[in-house]
Structure 1
Amino acid sequence: MITIRVPATSANLGPGFDSMGVALQLYLTLEIHEKTATWVVDHDSGAAIPHDDTHFIVQAALQLAPDLSPHRLVVRSDIPLARGLGSSSSALLAGYAMANELANLALSRDELLALATRIEGHPDNVAPALFGGAVVAYYDGKHVFHAPLRLPKTHHFITYIPNTQLLTAAARAALPEQLPFKTSVAASAISNTLIAALQSDDFETAKYLIEADQFHETARQHLVPHLKQVRTIAHELGLIGTYLSGAGPTIISVVPKQAAHHLQQALATAKLPGKILDLVPDNTGLTIEKEDRIYESF
């Protein structure tokens, strides 16, 4: 049996629109079992998700290896669908990694990143899912440039996941087609300074910049009414650093470890509809286990 595990991801981190992301300790796990006459996909994701070769993971694998022999697969995922935690990216990478293994394609992680980015359109989810930790990346239409981003080791990601989905297409449709030049310059400066602050272990500066996005949060806030509420609750505790995860509707607050439980309690007291999780970054990224041994075949 081969087991592929891919972490969830949170993109943007506020002003890092389409370029910044972090892997978190929620996982999609794909088990590859024996060969079968036709593809069989065992999962618990609901009746709307197929169990045959039309499953997204199988389709992703067949993109890379059209002649791939069918297998029995078991898919388990803690990553909720359409919530801004990279569920589609994790499934895409699981399919690509399966094809890479079974067809002996010998693709490197950088090659898989380039292939996945072409499908996703931007690398903010697939890069951290592959490499782990936080990653800043840029896709110029041909190449993906990426670099690791330092995050404070003492901070947790308090994650509020609403019960309702928000499809990426709807969130994208809310964005303006253009930004004024001065706004673009300011938004870029905020993002650049956030990266510099994080790389310098200056979270006192970074936490304010996380909440200063001018690229997407203002345009999407009507789709995510709880963003203002969660931010207000955090501020009342003296905690700054709340942002809209990816396209939403998940909302994340980056807070010191000692304050994580207090924020969780405050959000629970507010009785927001959904789940509240205390997460930390996954620093490993996509892993493959074969014959009880975890390894990198890239």
Structure 2
Amino acid sequence: MLEIKVPATTANIGPGFDTLGLALNVYNKFYISEIDKGIYIDGCDDKYRNENNLIYTSMKYFYNKINPPKIPTGIKIKIESNIPLSRGLGSSATCIVAGVVAANILSDSNLNKYELLKIASEIEDHPDNIAPALLGNMVVSLIDDGNIYYDTIKIPNELSFCCIIPDFELSTSLARSILPNTIYHKDCVFNISHSTLLVSALLNKNFDLIKIACKDKIHQDYRGKLIENYYDIVNMSYDLNCIGVFLSGAGPTIMSIIKDDDINFIGEMKSFLESLDNRWILKKLKCDTNGTIVNVI
């Protein structure tokens, strides 16, 4: 049996739409093994316990793509989920990565991480969540002429990421449908400059620049309108002197970056969240540096 541990991710990170992603130290675990026939899935809602399960369909995509000589006759999947669904924390990416990694091992295909990244990104349609889920750390990734190019950034140890997670979901398809079809030239320049500054500020530990660097003109303001109290939470985060705020993935989770020595942010933000109509929880997380880990048990 394979035990596959995949980290949550936060993508876009402000201006880095579909290009920046970061792994977080909360994980989904998947226990996957070959059985004589059929498919057996446990640990998720009934509606996902069938052949349309994303882990299973990712495995099938892998086998159709690679056409290996060995394909399991049946699959058993057990899910231990710690990442909330449809909250912008990469839960779908963990399923895709787990499926592709399991398929690679169970078929003795021996593909390397780059090849796995390429296949998983084809399923997801962009690599910003897939890359950090598989590789760990913060990853800059892009697709050019069908090839994936990426580079890893080490996040300074003194930074933490405060996930502010609501009790309501926001579908990725809805969050994408609200985005404009045309983007002004000045907004493109804005995002290019800010995403470049964000990467530079993190690499050089110029934390005073991160607040400005997290600004965006392509997706956050459009999606923020779909999230009740989005602007209230963003403004409160800055009032509490966080060093940056951004929408996690497509939302609705909001991510605040703080220094580890900030002793006030957590308590005061929790008190503020309790005053809102919806229930919000706050999790203080660190950047995961390992990515996907596989054990044979």
Structure 1 CA distance for aligned equivalents of residues 253 and 4 of structure 2: 25
Alpha-carbon contact 2:54-2:96 (below 8 Å) kept: yes
- CA drift of 1:244 comes to 0.3
Identify which of 55, 58, 63 aligns with 1:57. 55
Q: Give the aligned partner of residue 26 of structure 1.
A: 26
Q: Give the aligned partner of residue 12 of structure 2.
A: 12
Matched, 1:276 2:294: no
Runs (4 or more) in structure 1 with deviation over 3 Å come to none
Local SS of the residue matching 2:261: helix
1:127-163 residue CA offsets vs partner (Å, 9 max, x unmatched): 0001101000111240111001232210111111111
Structure 2 CA distance for aligned equivalents of residues 126 and 213 of structure 1: 22
- CA drift of 1:34 comes to 5.6
Structure 2 CA distance for aligned equivalents of residues 177 and 111 of structure 1: 31
**After alignment, is 247-256 or 201-210 more displaced?**
201-210
**After alignment, is 137-146 or 97-106 more displaced?**
137-146
Local SS of the residue matching 1:195: helix
| Structure 2: gaps of 5 or more residues | 65-70
Given the superposition, is the C-alpha separation of residues 249 and 194 from structure 1 closer, same or farther in structure 2, using an over 3 Å criterion?
A: same
Q: Give the aligned partner of residue 257 of structure 1.
A: 260
Q: Give the aligned partner of residue 168 of structure 1.
A: 172
Alpha-carbon contact 2:207-2:243 (below 8 Å) kept: no
Q: What residue identity is the alignment partner of 1:85?
A: L
- CA drift of 1:227 comes to 2.4
- CA drift of 1:174 comes to 1.0
Local SS of the residue matching 2:157: coil
Q: What residue identity is the alignment partner of 1:7?
A: P
Q: Give the aligned partner of residue 183 of structure 1.
A: 187
Structure 2 CA distance for aligned equivalents of residues 227 and 113 of structure 1: 33
Alpha-carbon contact 1:161-1:275 (below 8 Å) kept: yes
Structure 2 CA distance for aligned equivalents of residues 178 and 54 of structure 1: 34
Structure 2 CA distance for aligned equivalents of residues 181 and 208 of structure 1: 20
Q: Give the aligned partner of residue 158 of structure 2.
A: 154
Identity within the alignment, %: 32
- CA drift of 1:33 comes to 4.0
Matched, 1:82 2:86: yes
**After alignment, is 113-122 or 242-251 more displaced?**
113-122
Alpha-carbon contact 2:190-2:216 (below 8 Å) kept: no
Q: Give the aligned partner of residue 247 of structure 2.
A: 244
Structure 2 CA distance for aligned equivalents of residues 166 and 241 of structure 1: 22
Q: Give the aligned partner of residue 68 of structure 2.
A: none
Identify which of 105, 115, 118 aligns with 1:114. 118
Identify which of 192, 198, 201 aligns with 1:197. 201
Q: What residue identity is the alignment partner of 1:290?
A: V
- CA drift of 1:225 comes to 2.8
Structure 2 CA distance for aligned equivalents of residues 68 and 199 of structure 1: 44
1:192-247 residue CA offsets vs partner (Å, 9 max, x unmatched): 1111121212121123211x111211121101233212222222222230110000
Structure 2 CA distance for aligned equivalents of residues 62 and 268 of structure 1: 43
1:42-72 residue CA offsets vs partner (Å, 9 max, x unmatched): 11x323321x433221121111126432132
Q: Give the aligned partner of residue 95 of structure 1.
A: 99
Q: Give the aligned partner of residue 295 of structure 1.
A: none
Alpha-carbon contact 2:163-2:255 (below 8 Å) kept: yes
Structure 2 CA distance for aligned equivalents of residues 72 and 36 of structure 1: 10
What value does the CA root-mean-square deviation take over the aligned residues?
1.5
Alpha-carbon contact 1:151-1:201 (below 8 Å) kept: no
| Structure 1: gaps of 5 or more residues | 292-298
Alpha-carbon contact 1:40-1:53 (below 8 Å) kept: no
Q: What residue identity is the alignment partner of 1:240?
A: I
Q: What residue identity is the alignment partner of 2:59?
A: A
TM-score, normalised to structure 2, is 0.92
Q: Give the aligned partner of residue 294 of structure 1.
A: none
Give the number of equivalent residue pairs. Answer: 287
Alpha-carbon contact 1:152-1:203 (below 8 Å) kept: no
